[in-house]
Amino acid sequence: MFVAMNNFSVNPERAEDFERTWRERETYLGDVPGFVHFVLLRSDDEGHYVSHSTWESRAHFEAWTESEAFTKGHRGGGSMEGILLDHPRVELFESVTEASPTTA
């Protein structure tokens, strides 16, 4: 399992705009090979959000970043002007151990 996370610093006065943008955006992940799950997380720390995507492997994630689905999904990034306080910070993680209801 491979996890990619983007950390966002959002202007607290524009948090609703940020969330609405994510809810209304077109997603192209459903048909991407190796994609497992996506969630946008809102922290208890005001203005801190994390997008969290799970992949079968790093290779699947990297293939997605070079795909047309990635390009289409990231068009219109300028719509975050005035909403983001800084550039998103990417973090990438390889799974060391896993648990789920069927394996716990």
State the CATH number of the domain containing residue 12: 3.30.70.100
- Quick: pLDDT tens for 17-53: 999 999 988 888 888 999 999 999 999 999 999 999 9
pLDDT of residue 25: 85
Count of domains observed in the chain: 1
The angle subtended at Cα 27 by Cα 49 and Cα 64, nearest 5°, is: 90
Q: Are 85 and 10 in contact (CB under 8 A)?
A: yes
79 within a domain of the structure (yes/no): yes
pTM score: 0.86
> What residues make up the domain containing 37?
2-94
42 within a domain of the structure (yes/no): yes
φ, ψ of residue 82 in degrees (nearest 5): 85, -15
- Quick: pLDDT tens for 59-98: 999 999 998 888 887 775 557 889 999 999 999 999 999 8
